[in-house]
Amino acid sequence: MQIIPAIDIIDGKCVRLTQGDYSQKKIYNENPLEVAKEFESAGINRLHLVDLDGAKAGAVKNWNVLESIATNTKLRIDFGGGIKQEDDLKIVLNSGASMATIGSLAVKKPDLFIEWVEKYGADRFFLGADVREEKIAIGGWMETTDVSIFDFLNGFIKKGITQIFCTDISKDGKLEGPAIELYKKMMLQISGLKLVASGGVSNMEDLEALKNIGCSGVIIGKAIYEGRITLEQLIKFM
């Protein structure tokens, strides 16, 4: 199971929110590159980089942070937040991201997303599904749709998307454990799903549980920054 640390960016700084609430912002480091280098030194080779300013604005804002980390580390980076137009997608891919993270756009404009997949290749995209009670949520989690997580992912897997992560909104940033039952159900009902878990991871037991149910990867944020999971523990786990 691949370990994928998360760095969330606001004003060029490494922060974390709780349940996507910008008013519940905590700054962990003024220099995201320092954080990324620590991860790389621990033997980690993936990074989930989120432009929270971009997500709010609907256009990529912190591409310079991406470029800095991509230039100064060998981390394989997926970058998301504000990718609504093809120009934004080009900025992200040209700034060093291995993959562009797509969420709301795949819900609101699925035809455009598929067009991009066909043009740039499915391996350049990391599809994020935010879920509330098995329904897709969009717009910074403010809006829950009637779209079932199962129907949503099945449709895109058929189009060649293999890199998928799922965040249970009720779990994110709360350090109360991941959505094990939801993930089990998803892997049973969605053929060919390689699922990266996201949200709620609070300790090493959570990682063991996710590994045991067959998750292909896990995104970890707050648990690392709050010292619940150390880089030393991750090195041993890997």
Please give the pLDDT value at position 191.
85
- The one catalytic residue among 8, 51, 172, 206: 8
Split the chain (238 residues) into runs of 10 and give each run's mean pLDDT.
95 79 76 96 96 91 96 98 96 98 93 97 95 83 82 92 90 78 93 91 96 96 92 92
In sequence order, what E strands does the chain have?
2-10, 13-18, 21-29, 46-51, 76-80, 99-102, 125-132, 135-138, 143-148, 164-168, 195-198, 217-220
Catalytic annotation on 51?
no
- The one catalytic residue among 51, 53, 78, 130: 130
Do you know the residue count of the chain? 238
Cβ atoms of 88 and 80 within 8 Å: the answer is: no
Cβ atoms of 130 and 137 within 8 Å: the answer is: yes
Per-state percent for the chain, helix, strand, coil, to nearest 5: 40, 30, 30
CA distance 202 to 226: 9
CA distance 203 to 226: 11
Give me the amino acid identity at 102.
Answer: I
**Does the domain spanning 2-237 belong to CATH 3.30.420.40?**
no
Catalytic annotation on 151?
no
Query: CB atoms < 10 A from the CB of 238, how many?
Result: 12
Please give the pLDDT value at position 173.
62
The full set of domain ranges for the chain reads: 2-237
Cβ atoms of 172 and 204 within 8 Å: the answer is: no
Phi, psi values for residue 187, rounded to 5°: -70, -25
Please give the pLDDT value at position 28.
81
pTM: 0.92
Please give the pLDDT value at position 125.
97
Find residue 125's DSSP bridge partners.
100
Please give the pLDDT value at position 151.
93
